[in-house]
Chain A
Amino acid sequence: MKIILFVLFFLSFIKVSVAQLQFEFTWKGKRIELEKVYLFANNDSIQFSELKCYLSNISLIDQKNKVSTIAPSYFLIDLEDSNSLVLNSALDISKYRRITLIFGLDSSVNNSGNIEGVLDPIHGMYWAWNSGYIHSKISGKSNRVPTKKQEFEFHIGGFRAPNQTYFNFELPISGNNIQLELAPFFDNLDLKNENQLMIPGKKAHDFAKSLTALISIK
């Protein structure tokens, strides 16, 4: 009996030691926390009230170019829900060389009838009038926004070409943390004139494209 317990204990320990992928939003390399104040280079301030995005179709590629897919295929990252930041998988990522994934959800998901789990529109990441998922929500406030409440709110989505907002990309695995670095995105944004986005279109496409370029593994 004791031996079994010992083995069980040992097994559970092995499981924990599997290197798992984590997701984090960062501001100049620091992990972002909701409602905390961050600074631009000129000391303008910014804080976030909501950070959410979909990742999908994650595959890992090993030394021999063998591809393994992480199931389930869809992940809804929500900074408010720490469980959502760990991309649980039985695969030990330290054994792999490269990773491919989609930032967002591709058109087949947007067109299909599957709305189970993280795809359930109940999570508020869905546009009903223009069927399709909101791939990312980035909201908060900054003194750069010239309104009374100083709030900005970006709902980025849309899957119809040429304004699709999902992007496929591949990265070398150089750590366990998938990071989305937001400072350069806001540096290039004119928050004075652009602080709301609620519809698919060219703007959403451009936003999603520049966000994708800011994803790295550390």
Chain B
Amino acid sequence: MKKIKLVLSVGIILLFLSFNIKEGNPFYIPENWPKPFYNFEDNQLTRDKFELGRTLFYDETLSRDSTISCASCHLQYSGFTHIDHALSHGIDGEIGNRNSPVLINLAWNSFFHWDGGVNNLDKQAINPLIHPKEMGNNLPEVIRRLNNSKFYKKRFLSAFGDSVISTSNLLHALSNFTLALVSANSKYDLMKRGVAGSEFTDQEKSGYQLFLKNCNSCHTEPLFHSNAFKRNGLKIDEELKDIGRMAITQRKSDSMLFKVPTLRNIEFSFPYMHDGRFNKLKEVVDHYSSIPAHQLIVSKELKKIKKPFTDQQKKDLIAFLKTLSDKQFLYNKDFMFQRNER
């Protein structure tokens, strides 16, 4: 029995190592992290599929008029979100209804989109492809274009053993890329792993304590989200009238519930919230600090914030949030657009 366990654990360690080497898909499960939600049996990760997914992610020809790629709204150096724009900008200059979210550690998300309308990462990409304000295309046309391309037929043949390109293989290739976007090398992570030189400053330590007390119940370590929908005290935007989760469930009690987003790389993923209403972390912290004054229904976790943060506390919190920035991730060459691929 013990022997079996030993063999098994050696096997598992080897498996993880094999994920890490250059030849494999760069996805890996960081130490001490929970089990991912993604069902890897549906879509085996490989290097070929990852590289194909990356090519597709940066390819504008997937959009109706060949002007918009996934990367137009999901830029690597901002944690794979739009920056500067509060609401997403798509085809024909159309402005969407929501702020594009970061694409980080997606294997650990149990649902997608601000309202949780999408239940499976593989099915997510259908949205931007056919959304009239995003890439404005339709699936039969996308599949037709890919099948007319000698370049892609070769790539799909090598990745999936099939040169006839199907919706399923297109979506699986994209997921092979987006799943690989694992961020777990921020100063916070290095500190947790006891790496020399990554000790928190006094200010970061104080910010971390404040965070654990006031924020961690929703933005839970180590992913800094909780796969939950909450009301964090934002007033409804009278123009957008976005009711969040209720649009999906039709339940009144779900009105204004939004996904708790991850805070990893938050320093670079501004503007913030589902409608991008805040540009600076200072505004976010001010918001949480002043909630008790609002006469709004907020989720119970926020009732813990009894009195406004002091200016010093706000600065400390922001200093901690900045320890979640992962430069290795934001500048990882493997995630970038590859020139000379064709």
Contact = CB atoms under 8 A, between A and B. Distances in A.
A169 to B, nearest CB: 25
B213 interface: no
B168 A126 contact: no
A134 B255 CA distance: 24
B139 A113 contact: no
Interface residues of B, number: 25
Interface stretch (B49-57, B117-125, B312-320, B325-333): B117-125
Contacts of B127: 128-129
Contact of B43 (A113, A129, A131, A163): A113
A104 interface: no
Given A113-B42, A122-B139, A128 B250 contact: no
Contact of A131 (B123, B130, B250): B123
A33 B247 CA distance: 36
A114 B117 contact: no
B117 A116 contact: no
Contacts of A201: 250
A172 B185 CA distance: 62
A55 to B, nearest CB: 21
Contacts of A129: 113, 117-118, 127, 131
A113 B120 contact: yes
A144 interface: no
B120 A131 contact: yes
B249 A160 contact: yes
A113 B123 contact: yes
B42 A200 contact: no
Contacts of B140: 122
Nearest to A201: B250
Given A113-B43, A115-B171, A202-B250, A128 B166 contact: no
Nearest to B125: A128
Contacts of B126: 121, 126, 128
Contacts of A121: 123, 126, 139, 167
Question: What is the size category of the interface that chain A forms with chain B?
Answer: 20 to 34
A177 to B, nearest CB: 31
Residue of A131, A199, A201 with most partner-chain B CB within 10 A: A131
B9 interface: no
B119 A111 contact: yes
Interface string A87-102: 0000000000000000
A124 B168 CA distance: 14
A130 interface: yes
B143 interface: yes
A207 B9 CA distance: 53
B39 to A, nearest CB: 6
A83 B288 CA distance: 60
A128 B248 CA distance: 12
A200 B250 CA distance: 8
Given A121-B139, A122-B139, A130-B248, A113 B118 contact: no
Interface of A: 110-116, 120-122, 124, 126, 128-132, 160, 163, 199-202
Task: Give the 8 A-B residue pairs with the shortest CB-CB distance, closest first.
Answer: A113-B42, A128-B126, A128-B127, A122-B139, A131-B119, A130-B117, A201-B250, A113-B122
Given A112-B120, A128-B130, 17 more contacts: A113-B39, A113-B42, A113-B120, A113-B122, A115-B122, A115-B171, A116-B168, A120-B167, A121-B123, A122-B167, A128-B123, A129-B118, A130-B248, A131-B117, A160-B249, A199-B250, A202-B250
